[in-house]
Amino acid sequence: MKAVLGLEDGTFVIGKGFGVEGSCSGELVFTTQMTGYMEALTDPSYAGQILMFTYPLIGNYGVDVQNFESGRVHAQGCVAREICAAPTAQPSVARYFEDNGLLGISGIDTRRLTNKTRVNGTLRASLIVGDDDGEEAVRRARAVPDISELDLIGSVSCSAPYRLPGSGKRIAVIDLGLKRHILESLARRGADIHVFPYDATSGDIAACDPDALFISNGPGDPRRATDAIRCVRDLAGELPIIGICMGIQVAALALGAKTYKLKFGHRGTNQPVRYKDGGIYITTQNHGFAVDASTLPEGCEVSYTNVNDGTVEGFENRDLAITCVQFHPEAHGGPLDTEAHFFDRIYRRIP
């Protein structure tokens, strides 16, 4: 099939479509990971975005449903240099996209588009599969709202509370676009998990008598997570609070700090962070916003820092029992993974 990707700056590229005919629009963002392409595509944090892979070949081991981060693909569309036509397992990515009504484009210069994004910042984009009208793709890209104007969290959160029983500490989780492997990391430590929708109140949380509150990852601008921010504000000092990805931003906003949009975000499985003791960890990340360190209130300590650009990758407030990280410790970026380093530590701290 024909396909075209248009950008708001007037650029368009024509390639080969895969999946089904149709169109989609959103921010064009890139990830540097070499494997885990289906984990990325099924990450709810990619809602509202078109995901481009910098690694030139994806799909070589097919579609591994057992490692999905959620029940479906959340990225609006997929952009790749090449899709493997003969993977080691079936179904192929192309077949999965076709069977599930998804949109993708391949056969284009993703290196050029990545360099453009790094120089100019994240751009709005539109993907049309089944046509190669570049001018129409550009027009649609320019009509895309800024991601900060979109309410994306409600579309990826659970619709009702549910429980994953365990014999250990009771943890309330606010689902802003929760990744499955976060729940698995908590469950492996015996946690009794109570998951709540994005619009849960502090009263809803308190009713399950939790030992701690966990705030998940999610898509879009963290300032849109108004209910979760209110919950953290109400419960800070009453319960230990743990946050991952959007969770750190929600906790910071609840304490009166500010967040800002990164030029092109951090996405991939090879992002280096430095812990406060000097140790370096290679992490998995997916975020386009960050916490402004200079606005964190007294009592907060930056615990992790991004090695590449110095941005906040974690903070703690011991007085309020708040521990948050920007990266995803439940993901295994290697070679020195952060799952045990983070989850064992925070689980031990819960009374």
Element (DSSP H or E) covering residue 126: strand 123-129
Active-site residue flag, 181:
no
In whole angstroms, give the CA distance from residue 12 to residue 105: 12
Instruction: Determine phi and psi for 159, rounding to 5 degrees.
Output: -90, -15
Active-site residue flag, 84:
no
For tokens 């991601």, name the residue.
147
Count of beta carbons in the 10 Å neighbourhood of residue 2: 15
In the chain, the amino acid numbered 200 is A
Element (DSSP H or E) covering residue 324: strand 322-325
Nearest to 321 by CA among 235, 253, 258: 235
Residues 277/279/281/287 CA torsion (nearest 10 deg): 40
In the chain, the amino acid numbered 149 is E
- Selecting among 181, 266, 287, 328, the annotated active-site residue is 328
For the chain, the first-to-last Cα distance in angstroms comes to: 58
Instruction: Determine phi and psi for 192, rounding to 5 degrees.
Output: -95, 105
Joined together, the tokens standing for residue 219 give: 């898509």
- Selecting among 8, 39, 316, 330, the annotated active-site residue is 330
Residues 345/347/350/351 CA torsion (nearest 10 deg): -100
- Selecting among 231, 245, 300, 324, the annotated active-site residue is 245
In whole angstroms, give the CA distance from residue 122 to residue 120: 7
Joined together, the tokens standing for residue 11 give: 């650029």
Active-site residue flag, 21:
no
In whole angstroms, give the CA distance from residue 30 to residue 52: 5
Catalytic residue numbers, as ranges: 245, 328, 330
